[in-house]
Chain A
Amino acid sequence: MRLAIQGIGITGSFGAGVDALRSALQSKTVAPQQLTVDHHDGARDSFPAYRATTEGLERFLPKRELRRIDHFSKMTLLAAHLALEDAGLLEADRSRIGVVVASGYGPLKTTFNFLDSYLDFGYSCSSPTHFSNSVHNAAAAHVSMQLKLTSPSLTVTQFEMSVASALLSARQWLAEGRVDRVLFGAADEYCEVLRYCRRHVFADGEQGPLRPLDLEVQTAMAGEGAVFMVLECADEAAAYAAIDSVILGNHAVAPLTMPPGGSCGRRSRWPPPVRTMVC
């Protein structure tokens, strides 16, 4: 069964939306932000990181609704709204749209905010708001609540394999007819503890510039963002591209067998047609 990508919503350090991503790709560079963290010993850690914007979310939701929603869920909400808008579904009947969210680490900042609440003030002062927003599926829940999506909702966490793993179940929902469309997305966020851990592991290797595929040196930098795709079963037309197969396995145990190449959607507009995406 072929999955057609009918809409994309995205937010990252380049801005929000497909046009912002396209501009970033065409310019071939996006400058990271320079962040600083002051440590207890007085030392100042200065480093580059790619932070994502949530500007523009007010276009979809009143500020009042966003008061108690954390950055992780705001990124998720923005990308989800943009994807539905891109697919022309923002005003459509959404009763049979499922939600699938993949995340490697979940809402890190809120997780630590919750720990702060009892480490700073005692267990009796633990924050119920931080606790309920610290569960991995909080972002998917906010998407369902704000968009009134009552079909199934799923959140998957498998570190770097989260997206591929979640895509398998999204595909299955569509194949079984449980939903007509899946709002399929992924989100992960930066936080200072993450920086601390990365600095421990990578030492000073994260000062940029980022050089992908340079296997001789560690140049990765911390980043964050969220992306959603509107997926549906479609043999013919796909707005962006089609996903022919979702295959997961353990390459260390058995060889991965690739399927034969498929064909692209007919009304692809951007980016250039992807013939087959295999996760």
Chain B
Amino acid sequence: MTCSLPVVVTGLGCLSGAGMNLNENLKNLFAGCRYPGAPIRFSTDHPVAYPVLELRDAFKLPLDEDQLVYARTGQLALAAALGALSAAGYEEASLRGRRVGVCIGTTVGCALNCDDFYRDYKAGKNPGMAIIERYLRSNPAAVIARQLKLNGPVQTVVNACSSGTDAIGLGASWLRSGACDIVISGGADELSRVTYAGFSSLMITDTEPCKPFDVNRKGLNLGEGAGIMILERADRVDKTRILGRVLGYGSACDAHHLTAPRPDGAGLKAALAEAFRTADVGAKQIAFVNAHGTGTPDNDRIEGRVLNEVLPGVPFLSTKGYTGHTLGAAGAIEAVYTLACLNRGEIPASIGFAELDPQIPVTPVTVNTPLGGHIGLSQSLAFGGNNAVLILAAGGA
């Protein structure tokens, strides 16, 4: 089985701790700049402040004050979607009468973990429903569909940290089936006190800027942001609008542990095999891999070994040193980066890496590196044992 009907990308949108739009993200990536710091929007009583990568500027949506009724994740998704649609040459009105699907990955954006509300509830303070009503309005895919008055399938994927990758793969699948004409796909997640507390409880957050694949890595830094791709059927798009192609998608489950990757990497290998099969390409055609590379000891060890086995000699990097781990948005932001790098013909240095880990038989790129091909691979590993892989091609390929 191959994904015989080509799906093309006509718009990219992205905001993260590395920048408020795609150009700013790329500028910082290729300049080797990152901006980790203590959380600004919330505090905890942890004895140490774990660095995070928050958006460095306020973002403004083109909405009236009374329309700003969405939680931050929904706003991030909408901001990235508007950026991607603009890049694709679409105005809101030009989507009318078309079947436009929305497929968005998230984790925080769907959880009823409103701890301000719950604190008052526990204290018997009889909190009102404003926070709950905002939560009910803020399902990220529904936010985009509702705000843009779209008619088509709407889906929020909650596959933990592979959600964004899965959402793009599923969105491409909807197009191939004829379920819609255009798909707004990607992922969004805000930085939250709840996930901050959760990941620190698992003891997989670093007290310093993260160091993916490095021997001294101690864990991840959390981040926030959104990445969006506008997907369309190749046979319905003017070639001059094509920014890239979704060649293949694979996913598989470890069926091993709720939070730890399977030691033999079997789930990731199965997802890679399915992605290669659906893309009808081989490992030798892959110019680079945008790895999950969280900076946690387990993830990077397993992922590095699988890369060595399945994609030996293929340059790879982790961009989480620039963005932090943006959870449900991560796979989407990284897919956007992958395509942007393919079009640029180079990848940035894998920031944070300095010293080889003898348990990992591969080394990420340590300097900005020119690419020798036009096909790239972006992969995500997630809680629940999910593994998801996208194979993407440059626009002119």
Contacts and interface: CB of A to CB of B under 8 A. Distances in A.
Given A132-B259, A250-B145, A169 B201 contact: no
A40 B123 contact: yes
Interface stretch (B71-79, B229-237, B363-371, B379-387): B379-387
Interface string B127-163: 0110010001001011001000111111111111000
Given A119-B118, A150-B255, A156 B156 contact: yes
B193 to A, nearest CB: 8
Contacts of A177: 1
Interface stretch (B20-28, B43-51, B211-219, B341-349): B43-51
Nearest to B129: A200
Interface in B351-387: 382-386
A271 B155 CA distance: 30
A115 B149 CA distance: 35
Interface in A108-124: 108, 111-112, 114-119, 122-124
B40 interface: no
Nearest to A248: B153
B256 interface: yes
A120 B110 CA distance: 24
A49 interface: no
Interface string A136-177: 111011101101111111111111010001101101110111
A137 B153 contact: no
A151 B252 contact: yes
B interface, by DSSP: helix, strand, loop or mixed?
mixed
A39 B154 contact: no
Given A141-B258, A150-B252, A166-B155, A196 B121 contact: yes
A161 B156 CA distance: 10
Contacts of A217: none
Interface in B180-212: 194, 197-203
A47 interface: no
A131 B159 contact: no
A145 B156 contact: no
Given A127-B201, A155-B158, A136 B170 contact: no
Nearest to A255: B151
- Across the A-B interface, the 4 shortest Cβ-Cβ residue pairs: A40-B124, A141-B384, A131-B198, A136-B158
Given A136-B110, A159-B139, 6 more contacts: A124-B45, A135-B384, A156-B157, A158-B141, A165-B153, A172-B179
Interface of B: 1, 3, 44-47, 97, 99, 107, 110-113, 115, 118-119, 121-124, 128-129, 132, 136, 139, 141-142, 145, 149-160, 166, 170, 173-174, 176-177, 179, 194, 197-203, 251-259, 266-267, 270, 274, 278, 382-386
